[in-house]
Structure 1
Amino acid sequence: MRFCTERRRFLFFLPLVFFLPNLLSLLELHHDLASTQPDKRSKKFDHLILGPATGQGLSDRLQCSGTKALNNTHLPDTSNSADSGDSIHFVTVFTIYNASQDSKVIGRSTDVVKVGDASYNKVERSMAVLNVFINFIQVSMPQSNVVILTDPASDLPVRRNRVAVFPIQGEYSRDTLMLQRIRSYISFLDAKLDEQRQGTTHINHYIFTDSDMAVVGDLGEIFHKHPKFHLALTFRNNKAQPLNSGFIAVRGTEDGIRRAKTFLEEVLKIYSSRFMKASRMLGDQLALAWVVRSNPSFDARKFSKPETFVEEINGASVLFLPCALYNWTPPEGAGQFHGMPLNVKVVHFKGSRKRLMLESWNFFQSSSSISDMLCLILSSGRTKYDF
């Protein structure tokens, strides 16, 4: 009886003797294969990945075949802007972090990024983005100027025509940069208000933007089509963050500058009192929305339609421009599934889209076609890149 029991046990475990080694081999093979495959969940590519362009078949959207535009957009005639006697100044806040530290580790492969034929460390890639920002403006609006608001301690290596550096004292740390940006805007407008009060007859309109934007159309038309607004903001159909602070236009008259300055001072007050927990990111946008929505007569349902409208907010005439045209962002995996509007004016390369911004400029240099370049952006926009 005991012999039969032991025999049954032997026969039961016998298949495992042959199966277990094969199972272990399969597990080892799976582990080896997994270790050689990239982690698709967190992978950021170091080269452009082209996919299908969204918006196919929609008449008011850019149609592409690969990187070839099938319904061309084009740079508009800017002669009307030039004849008016007014000029456009693009104003951006920019500073450099840890320049000395980054220069010491430039040889480390983890800190060097290659885009096209150029290699950049952290400081160099930031400067490359700034220079491409200027490049696009000088192609799309060659008669305009660029003003860089920066920390007086920053020695920015920018020596270009129609580009000026405007130092403003302040706190430019990463944690307070968005707060400082509004303070810098207010200080700049205060200086321009003094110039206006001294009897300056020439009018300079100002467009405050992030430096990771590509201007691909004439923005001077904003001031000609809408002659009565004091400042302009861009909006989107987003309940929590309907306003994007990356684009603020100010009419360059004394009244326009004064009212825009007062409006931003109220935004700064709300930012400092209510949203300091979001001081590193988003606090300025939350404060903007608070100031606008706190107006009793404002109807927030207007944010749901991408149509331009004007509202009186705290004594200022505010022009609301749809992000779809004046602050369009490549989707990177979410949103904007309906493609790119044909008459888009500004492309905003937020977050990890900076490589796409540099690659787009390189492509434009080789193709000289804004429309084809927009197809490259549209086809590449749903991939995460390395910076």
Structure 2
Amino acid sequence: MKIFSGWHRFIFGLPLLFILIHMYYVMEFYKNSKMEVPHKQLNKKFDHLILGPAAGQGLSNRLQCQGTKALNRSRASNSRSGLEESVTFVTVFTIYNSSLNNVDDKSSKTVVGNASYNKVDRSMAVLNVFVNFIQIFLETKLQNLPQNPRNITHYIFTDSDIAVVDDLGQIFRDHPNFDLALTFRNNKAQPLNSGFIAVKGTPDSILRAKLFLQEVLKIYSSKYINASRMLGDQLALAWVVKSNPHFDDRRFAKPLAFAEDIGNTSVLFLPCALYNWTPPEGAGQFHGMPLDVKVVHFKGSRKRLMLESWDFYSSSTEIEDMLCLILGSGRTKYDF
């Protein structure tokens, strides 16, 4: 009985012992977490930028920074060819009158004026509007081009979440013989990004660019109408380009500009690494910013970084230093 009584006390004491041990480790973990990662105790995401060591330090082909001060930013050449050239930027906004109460209802429809769109119709309508605005704009400019051939205005169509950080007139000076320019990346499924489209401002180039975009719209309508808006137009662009039997898509693997005739249109392919660069999210995912980045594209949640970069630039007035802010902030996932 004494033996049983002793085991009885021991067995009933086990739960209390386990609870005490468990509470000890929980308290230690809580204390360490509070000391090392204070934001986790509130289970709260970052709502501002956290600067860390800039990526790409020691790499000669990447932007070098000391704190938020650029050290080796290169400058574009401003050589003139004798032509009076200028660049006009065009951004298209499409706004829908949709109810927030039905935002999660897949069967809900978007009403714009007297028209009602389901999900598929809406995707098609967005691309139609985007391409139609570009075509109308190009047709108007084509009709109103000055007779003096030495006065040329080039056009660049962009998403609204980009920052131009260097001279883009260099595209037209260095590559005088293209009609339309697209940006590419080393991505097998989606090698082309539609957030940056440049059109040379001569009558022939404007006409050929318009016909090229009409073909993209046709392919989108017939093949990718069920894809999401961003995915569908990029897939359509890639299909039109790759449909050329002589096109070698292995050239997308290297960030070097090249030109190719797609149908009757001379298309210039510019690397996203310079003309449509997007800051990667999270630590250790990239090796710094290329030296000659000209366009920064703040996709998705990076729009907060775009706002804070502008605020930083407004106080410093130095584009190069703003790029260092972006470079240092690429280590943090930013939420808008």
- 2:56 pairs with 1:58: no
Could you tell me how far apart the structure 1 residues matched to 2:316 and 2:80 are? 27
- Kept in 2, the 8 Å contact 1:73–1:370? The answer is no
Q: 1:359 to 1:175 in 2, by over 3 A?
A: farther
Aligned equivalent of 1:318: 267
Match of 2:321 among 343, 361, 372: 372
Distance 1:21 1:325, change over 3 A: closer
Secondary structure in structure 2 of the residue aligned to 1:7? helix
**Unaligned 5+ runs, structure 2:** 101-111, 114-119
Give the counterpart of 1:363 among 279, 289, 312. Answer: 312
Distance 2:326 2:156 in 1: 23
Compared CA separation, residues 176 and 352, structure 1 to 2 (3 A): farther
Question: In structure 2, how many angstroms separate the alpha carbons of the residues matched to 1:26 and 1:302?
Answer: 60
Shift of 1:18: 3.4
Which residue matches 1:86?
85
Mapped to 1, the partners of 2:289 and 2:166 lie a distance apart of 14
Q: Quote the Cα distance in structure 1 between the aligned partners of 2:294 and 2:223.
A: 33
The amino acid across from 1:60 in the alignment is: N
Aligned counterpart for 2:169 among listed residues 220, 231, 234: 220
> Could you say if the C-alpha distance between residues 380 and 98 of structure 1 is closer, same or farther in structure 2, counting changes exceeding 3 Å?
farther
Q: CA deviation at 1:345?
A: 0.7
Amino acid at match of 1:380: S
**What is the CA–CA distance in structure 1 between the aligned matches of 2:125 and 2:30, rounded to whole Å?**
45
Distance 1:32 1:381 in 2: 29
The residue that corresponds to 2:104 in the other structure is: none
AA aligned to 1:350 is: K
Judge conservation of contact 1:178–1:281 (CA < 8 Å) in 2. Answer: no
**TM norm structure 2:** 0.82
Is this contact kept in 2: 1:175–1:279, CA < 8 A?
A: no
Quote the residue 1:117 is aligned against.
Answer: none
Q: How many residues align?
A: 314
Q: Residue 271 and residue 30 in structure 1: after superposition, are their counterparts in 2 closer, same or farther (change >3 A)?
A: farther
Match of 1:354 in 2: 303
Cα distance in 1 between the residues matched to 2:259 and 2:176 = 11
Contact kept? 1:310, 1:319, Cα under 8 Å: yes
* 2:13 alignment partner in structure 1: 15
| Matched position secondary structure for 2:176 | coil
Q: 1:335 to 1:173 in 2, by over 3 A?
A: farther
Q: Secondary structure at the match of 1:277?
A: coil
Equivalent residue for 2:207?
258
Amino acid at match of 1:181: F
Within 5 Å, which residues of 2 pair with 1:321-336? 321-333=270-282
1:386 deviates by: 2.5
Distance 2:20 2:229 in 1: 54
Deviation at 1:63, TM superposition (A): 0.5
- Conserved 8 A contact 1:92-1:209: yes
Query: What's the % identity of the aligned pairs?
Result: 61
Task: Specify the code of the residue in structure 1 equivalent to 2:84.
Answer: G
Question: Quick one: distance in 1 between partners of 2:127 and 2:285?
Answer: 25
> Structure 1 residues 333, 21: CA separation in 2 closer, same or farther (over 3 Å shift)?
closer
In the other structure, the counterpart of 1:301 is 250
CA separation of 1:344 and 1:24: change in aligned 2, threshold 3 A: closer
Q: What SS does the corresponding residue of 1:244 show, helix, strand or coil?
A: strand
Structure 2 residue 152 is matched with structure 1 residue 203: yes
Change (3 A) 1:265 1:17: closer
- Within 2, Cα distance between the matches of 1:376 and 1:172? 41
Shift of 1:236: 0.8
Tell me, which stretches of 5 or more residues in structure 1 are unaligned? 102-151, 154-170
Give me the whole-angstrom Cα distance separating, in 1, the residues matched to 2:133 and 2:290: 32
**Equivalent residue number for residue 69 of structure 2:** 68
Q: Distance in 1 between matches of 2:210 and 2:138?
A: 6
Shift of residue 15 of structure 1? 3.0
**3-state SS of the aligned residue for 2:48?**
coil
Instruction: Say if 2:220 and 2:233, in contact at 8 Å, map to a contact too.
Output: yes
Provide the TM-score with structure 1 as the length reference. Answer: 0.72
Match of 1:281 in 2: 230
Cα deviation, residue 293, structure 1:
0.8
User: How far off is 1:186 after superposition?
Assistant: 2.3
2:234 counterpart SS class: helix
Cα separation, 1, equivalents of 2:219 and 2:331: 35
State whether residues 234 and 327 of structure 1, in contact with CA within 8 Å, keep that contact through their aligned partners in structure 2.
Answer: yes
The question of whether the paired residues in 2 share the 8 Å contact of 1:178 and 1:279 is answered with no
Cα offset for 1:181?
A: 1.8
Alignment-mate amino acid for residue 288 of structure 1 = L
CA offsets, 1:104-147, max 9 Å, x none? xxxxxxxxxxxxxxxxxxxxxxxxxxxxxxxxxxxxxxxxxxxx
2:330 matched residue in structure 1: 381
Following superposition, the deviation at residue 203 of structure 1 comes to 2.5
